[in-house]
Amino acid sequence: MNSADLGRRVGVPSTALFTDQYELTMVQAALKAGTADRRSVFEAFTRRLPEGRRYGVVAGTGRVLDAVENFHFDEEMLAFLRDQHIVDAATVDWLADYRFSGDIWGYPEGEVYFPGSPLLRVEGSFAECVLLETVILSILNHDSAIAAAASRMSAAAGGRRLIEMGARRTHELSAVASARAAYVGGFHTTSDLAAGFRYNIPTVGTSAHAFTLLHDSERDAFQAQVDSLGRGTSLLVDTYDVTEAVRTAVEVAGPELGAVRIDSGDLLLVAHRVRQQLDELGATGTRIVVTSDLDEYAIASLAAAPVDAYGVGTQLVTGSGHPTCSMVYKLVARAGSADPADPLLPVVKKSLGAKSSRGGRKWAARRLDAHGVAEAEVVGTGDVPADLEDRQLLVELVRGGEVVAREPLEAARERHIAARAGLPMSAMQLSRGEPVLPTEYA
């Protein structure tokens, strides 16, 4: 069991088979070779940001902690591994007692990152660390992609409210994770009740076109909704004729009508016309919500429109063109034995092209300029320079197999707002460009 980021307690099944087979076959071979217990350090990072993105957003950390905590093999899983001859009997016996007992450090959730940033550092024996590769990457790659898209949309919205409403556009479990990541990235509410239940994210929702079509007239539909949900509800006004619908909506609900939603057409033009009409009818406090396959570019194009909130679905839950962050999980250091006194030796894959990486157990810090604005992401091994001591980014997440850094989701959301505000102003530009901070290696 876990507390789901201090939300409601939700039973989480074992995450042990959310992995690739080669994780287990490597463990089998390492056990036979006598190297499985060698002290090791793995790091999750990305070599580059998705094309055109100027910063990344760390999301999914809380879910990673849940996954690590629930990574264990039950009898049915062990029988599957044995019956399918995936690993040998000795490895099955080893897996039966598996619990991660190492340490994990990482960028706190909501922080921004750049190419080469050591987002997660996992330390322990080779065998216990290598098993976590796939589940860690599946969570971080997905959630960070959604949070990055959400952050760009939040910046484009300029303080206007954002509603996550993409549940019907992705896998049902991905929808819950997407809503969580979107909240970290700056969205205010979700339409997904499972996300609201599990993570205490505020939920919203009123009616679809089907509700209007169910009734004999638009007036009847509006009246039924107002009678049930009150005058502060949001009425969908583009089923038939928008101008007539707005007039009817105010007649039914009065000037206290909470909001109208527009889901089609030229949103910029329609929003201006609807605002003018609402004001003329005395509904000056009625808000305008727009939906209709929005992304950050569409939101930015509506900056001059009298819009109060945006509902975003498909483009958000698919990362707005970049559904993954291309993070990898690499062994960067290992000892010659399991002896804690045995020194860690940097290791690195030698590769041609763009798949090169850097060995060694790393630290990371963000250097600021004279105005307190971030100017570089500094990554290094060994001692941290004195001037960067108080700017280090990695925090302790797991100590000796025990989670030590679980926090409310609201904390990650607030952290992201602060981290984004500390970047150069060019980070908010939607035009294609290089990462807003260079990565320097010390």
User: What is the per-residue pLDDT for 1?
Assistant: 40
Residue-wise pLDDT tens digits, 36-50: 999 999 999 999 999
Mean pLDDT of 179-185: 98
Residue-wise pLDDT tens digits, 369-405: 999 999 999 999 999 999 999 999 999 999 999 999 9
Q: Taking all residues of the chain, what is their mean pLDDT, rounded to a whole number?
A: 95
Residue-wise pLDDT tens digits, 290-306: 999 999 999 999 999 99
Q: What are phi and psi of 290, to 5 degrees?
A: -115, 145
Checking if the pLDDT of 150 tops 90, the result is yes
Checking if the pLDDT of 417 tops 50, the result is yes
Exposure b/e, 14-33, CB count within 10 A at least 16 = b: ebbbbbeeeebebbbebbee
Contact of 334 with 126, CB cutoff 8 Å: yes
User: What is the per-residue pLDDT for 8?
Assistant: 63
Q: Read off the pLDDT band of 7 (50, 70, 90).
A: low
- pTM recorded for the entire structure: 0.94
User: What is the per-residue pLDDT for 402?
Assistant: 98
Q: Read off the pLDDT band of 349 (50, 70, 90).
A: confident
Could you tell me the strand order of the sheet in which 439-441 lies? Answer: 362-368, 374-381, 439-441
User: What is the per-residue pLDDT for 432?
Assistant: 83
User: What is the per-residue pLDDT for 10?
Assistant: 59
Q: How far is CA 333 from CA 29, 126, 330, 342, 440, in A?
A: 19, 10, 9, 12, 20
* CB burial of residue 403 (10 Å; 0-12, 13-18, 19+): middle
